[in-house]
Homo-oligomer: A and B are copies of this chain.
């Protein structure tokens, strides 16, 4: 459904003994008996709405279900008129709003909006059992003196394992390789009512000289894992205590998290499965 395309008006010629011309929207059919309309150029609502009404009338006859209208921010003039026609919002990105209308008289089976933001914390540990930690100069840790793991938000379209490598590089200049997901936590109502997934990733460093690059990081250093775990903040907050304990256990070699395996897909989309491959032998023939 992500492949919408340009929509222009098509003039539908009617038999020549009739004078009326019917203009209809030229939508893309989706795989769920729906129609996707993308408006790409400015249009006056007094022109657009009659054409939308005629189109919906035809789609109803055809048994269409969900009608999607993607309005770039340049045509925000059409939002209010389209809402008056019974459409509701589905989701928005900085440059467009997607509206939707369920035509049948049945409960809608429209897909939900994205519900989660995804973040990573990077546990980068060297051969001396020292962990890479940072002081942040914004957010809840600002001015607390707590040395914490580098953290960041996973971008749309970015793999968790890549986000961890990128954040470590951005915050500290350290090159590192992804090893495993050690743990993750899910929380709710973290932002605009959205839920949040946070993955603790173990990385193996390939460089050791810290070059602080990110303006949001005040300082960075290598710190013994015991000193990291024993910070009062980590002792007083259960989540941090668990994470520190998992990291310590891993650094002692006694813990197995989820590592990645790339999955081949028909469409050549990049995809990873994360699982415990401790006994990988049985998976080697796939």
Contact = CB atoms under 8 A, between A and B. Distances in A.
Interface of A: 1-2, 73, 76-77, 79-80, 83, 88-98, 109, 111-118, 138, 153-160, 182-189, 191-195, 197, 216, 238-239, 241-243, 245-246, 249, 254-258, 261, 263-265, 269-276, 278-279, 282-283, 286
Given A80-B76, A274-B183, A275-B183, A197 B116 contact: yes
User: Which 4 residue pairs across A and B have the least CB separation, nearest first?
Assistant: A183-B275, A92-B92, A115-B156, A89-B92
Contact of A184 (B79, B111, B245, B273): B273
A117 B117 contact: no
Contacts of A241: 286
Nearest to A193: B2
A156 B263 CA distance: 27
24 contacts: A1-B192, A2-B189, A2-B192, A76-B80, A76-B83, A79-B79, A93-B113, A111-B153, A111-B191, A112-B156, A114-B194, A115-B154, A157-B189, A184-B258, A185-B272, A185-B274, A187-B269, A242-B275, A245-B286, A249-B279, A254-B279, A255-B279, A256-B276, A276-B276
Q: Is the interface of A mostly helix, strand, loop or mixed?
A: mixed
A116 B113 contact: no
B257 A276 contact: yes
A73 to B, nearest CB: 6
B157 A186 contact: no
